[in-house]
Chains A and B, each alone.
Chain A
Amino acid sequence: MRVEIRPAARLRGTNAVDLLPALGPALDAVIADPEVDLTRLRVTADWVQYRRSFRPPVMLVPSTGGDALELAVDLRRAHDAETTANAVAAAFHAHRNGSGAGAHRTLEEWTPTSRSLIWRFNALYWQHLRAWEEATGHGYESALPGGRSGAREDEPVRAMIKALFAVWDSLARRRALPEELYVVELGVGNGSQARTWLDAFRELDAEHGHRYYRRLHYLMGDYSPHVLELARAAVAEHAQHVSSLVLDAQRPMTALGFLRFKVFLVYISNVYDNLPTDEIATIGQREHLVQTRAYLDEADAVAIAAGVAATPDALGGLVDKLLQLGPTLLAEAAPGHIPDPAAGVAFWRACWSALRLQERYVPLHGLDTYEIAPGISGELLRPMTATGGDLRLHAANGAAASFADTLPLLHPFGRLQCHDIFITATDQYRTGFRGPGKYDGSVVNWVNGPLLAHIGARMGFDVAFAPFTPSGSNIVTLTADVRD
């Protein structure tokens, strides 16, 4: 039996995690079960930082490639000895009986996490954000790390604009500055970043005296029409220079292909952490894909079903309708269960809150058989998996697709700047839980920075990471500049 304790940094200091109350009962329960093959068992201990996550405090993760098992323990929540021991025993019992996580209602078949229905919930959140905000009474930005979108600090914005002016001045001297100067922002939030940026641009341009503002085209792209509407209102003063469009952040070229090699700055904030991702695990020198299956605990399912005058068996159908129609139309489609849109939102929130993911490891026959995104082979993960030992990391499929599809927009002297919660070194996956978690009604994962750096390098960009300043949050600034 191997025991892997990941949150090493939390084992010391004033708020140190006390290992024994969590791990002791779990290990005792395992050892006490004579049917458990201890030689094939891995025990992994994480400290799941999300207040709301898809993980129960104790979870058994099987492998389809043999009889190896992983017992995953959340040190933050598994602190009651009796509860933990019972949960371990129940997990093994359920595994032997072929029912996975125990008494529960599964909502989908096994699938790579990037295709799980949690992403349909995520899409629902952005499409019906206004309804969610009205029900919760707070704006989505309050759910972001640090409480708001990370890039409305004035000084970094001014520095960014001055760097842009320097490039444009240089091109102008060589008679190579295009007439139209394009800047793109993906994931515009409520428009405050755009407003700050445009205000600063206009002011600095007036000081500078080159009249770049007159030639500026600022394109705002976002998946959420509601968010875009807010953003448009925020930048109304600059309306002549701003266009907005609904787009899929994973395929920006679909909407912005006409700007290929023409954009001088692409700005992205808090988008990548909200895009679908798989996880790849190297266990015993073999790579596995993590597959998941969404479910509700039986007790939660019974309570939610009772709240909408339905049987637990009918929940799956209602959830599917919710995800297809949204909370408002659900009230029209199922008035016997959902009398009005407010009840639709309440049902949505209850399901989301209770939603969990089962996990299993499925062996991969080589990283090159796994595609991270169109045209991006899983081989690009090899520099990380080859660092030795067991490792579980994000494939960052959505972020990789978005990043790779955004770089071609950049002018030969263009730059991409992105603020997000990035992993910047492989070892960070060995020392902490990096998602998925829940932020308000959306899914959040840390973003695999080294992978994006590899993708950037293959596409001719140097990718650098720096702490976001002024900070205090986990936000990191990624900058991609043309290399060579």
Chain B
Amino acid sequence: MPIPPRPPRPLTTTVIGSWSVPDWLERAKTAAYHGGVSRTQLSDMHDMAIKAVLKDQEVVGIDVVTDGELRRDNDIDHILARVPGVVAREPVKAFYFDYLDLELQSPIPAVGPGPLGLVSDLAFTRTYTDRPVRFSMTGPFSLSRRLRTSEGAGYGDSADRADLVRDLARVLNAEATALAAAGAQLLQLDEPFLAGHPEHVKLAVEAVNIVVADVPVTWALHVCYGNRYARPLWEGHYDFLFPAVLDAAVDQLLLEFARKGDDDLALIEKHGWDRVLGVGVLDVKTAEVESAPLVERRIERALAYVPPERLLVTPDCGLRHLPATAARAKLRAMTSAAAAVRARLA
């Protein structure tokens, strides 16, 4: 049974996806490309690290948890490199976090359920927590921006390569279908590159709708200004997202507000977003820990536009680039603040 599109309680707390990557794991991930660590050893390390991440989230009081995306080198490779037909031009990286240089030499073929093999990742996570799990995949538009296509692939060289985006969406739809069959209740699409290409928002939304079609789970969409290396890739406002995003068949929209300020909250009201809003209340681009009262103020400002039962309390984006101590302290401030505001509302 899918969980209802609305969060389990007012001001439900959750994380966006990624978790702080320990230095030892970074070294092991890099060493795995150079033969210093075997893939079996690395897999064991991932398992142990994910168990710890789940426990960390439970201890700080996160309601809806993730696996921290610790098996993934970055937001692209783990998914895009598995798309049928995609090959890495150079499979060895100098540093694990680098992007692979990926290329498609022929059209993406029609695929059956689970072409990306993510079901085992989800199953492992669900084995080690009783809490609802948010499972994320990078969205088709952002995936397309990191994929070369040779002439044989037949996707042309237009700026948007719309057919490629749609085909990637179909692959993600097949994967989502398998994830749902394996018990996924909450799936999320991340579009970290979309803010840098605001002119393609309609295409991105069209592709989102291909991914979510006929997959009976709660769907979330996360759009930020980029967080690679803890840096934004674009400085602007969310006005590019509206009204196009209203057509996205998703239940939750998770946006960043802590770093950028809350000016864009007015867009939610102006455009009548009537579904769940995830409001970013932690700046993940700085290790400076917000105080709980500051986070409370950020939550209360969002409450001026969205009622508590439709408000998710989240960090701005993934926690990958934060030291673990800072990540835990920030989340503790977030859950404390959510509890305090919740108590005042009761």
A residues contacting B by CB (< 8 A) are 174, 176, 178, 261, 368, 375, 377, 379, 408, 411-412, 457-461, 482, 484
Q: Which residues of A contact B199 (CB under 8 A)?
A: 174
Q: Which of B158-189 contact A (CB under 8 A)?
A: none
Query: Does B231 lie within 8 Å of A412, measured CB to CB?
Result: yes
B residues contacting A by CB (< 8 A) are 23, 27, 95, 97-99, 198-199, 226, 228-236, 323
Query: Does A261 lie within 8 Å of B23, measured CB to CB?
Result: no
Query: Does B236 lie within 8 Å of A176, measured CB to CB?
Result: yes
- What's the least CB distance linking A452 to chain B, in Å? 15
Query: Does A460 lie within 8 Å of B23, measured CB to CB?
Result: no
- What's the least CB distance linking B320 to chain A, in Å? 12
Query: Does A412 lie within 8 Å of B233, measured CB to CB?
Result: yes
Give the 7 A-B CB pairs with smallest separation, nearest first.
A460-B229, A460-B231, A412-B233, A459-B229, A176-B236, A412-B232, A412-B234
A457's closest neighbor in chain B, by CB?
B95
Q: Which residues of B contact A375 (CB under 8 A)?
A: 323
A482's closest neighbor in chain B, by CB?
B231
Q: Which residues of B contact A411 (CB under 8 A)?
A: 235
Q: Give bound CA distance, A457 to B93, whole Å.
A: 13
- What's the least CB distance linking B258 to chain A, in Å? 14
The answer to whether residues A379 and B23 also contact, given A412-B232, A460-B229 and a CB cut-off of 8 A, is: yes
- What's the least CB distance linking A195 to chain B, in Å? 30
- What's the least CB distance linking A88 to chain B, in Å? 43
- What's the least CB distance linking B220 to chain A, in Å? 24
A171's closest neighbor in chain B, by CB?
B235
- What's the least CB distance linking A104 to chain B, in Å? 42
Query: Does B99 lie within 8 Å of A484, measured CB to CB?
Result: yes
The answer to whether residues A379 and B99 also contact, given A412-B234, A412-B235 and a CB cut-off of 8 A, is: no
Query: Does B232 lie within 8 Å of A261, measured CB to CB?
Result: yes
Query: Does A261 lie within 8 Å of B229, measured CB to CB?
Result: no
Query: Does B99 lie within 8 Å of A458, measured CB to CB?
Result: no
Query: Does B27 lie within 8 Å of A261, measured CB to CB?
Result: no
A377's closest neighbor in chain B, by CB?
B23
Query: Does A176 lie within 8 Å of B228, measured CB to CB?
Result: no
Q: Which residues of B contact A458 (CB under 8 A)?
A: 95, 97, 229
Query: Does A484 lie within 8 Å of B27, measured CB to CB?
Result: no
The answer to whether residues A368 and B232 also contact, given A458-B95, A484-B99 and a CB cut-off of 8 A, is: no
Q: Which residues of B contact A459 (CB under 8 A)?
A: 229-231
A-B contact sample (10 more), CB < 8 A, given A412-B226, A457-B98, A460-B229 = A174-B198, A176-B234, A176-B235, A176-B236, A375-B323, A412-B232, A457-B95, A458-B97, A460-B231, A482-B231
Query: Does B27 lie within 8 Å of A379, measured CB to CB?
Result: yes
Q: Give bound CA distance, A349 to B236, whole Å.
A: 54
Query: Does A261 lie within 8 Å of B95, measured CB to CB?
Result: no
Query: Does A261 lie within 8 Å of B231, measured CB to CB?
Result: yes
B99's closest neighbor in chain A, by CB?
A484
- What's the least CB distance linking B6 to chain A, in Å? 35
Q: Which residues of B contact A457 (CB under 8 A)?
A: 95, 98
Q: Give bound CA distance, A379 to B25, whole Å.
A: 13
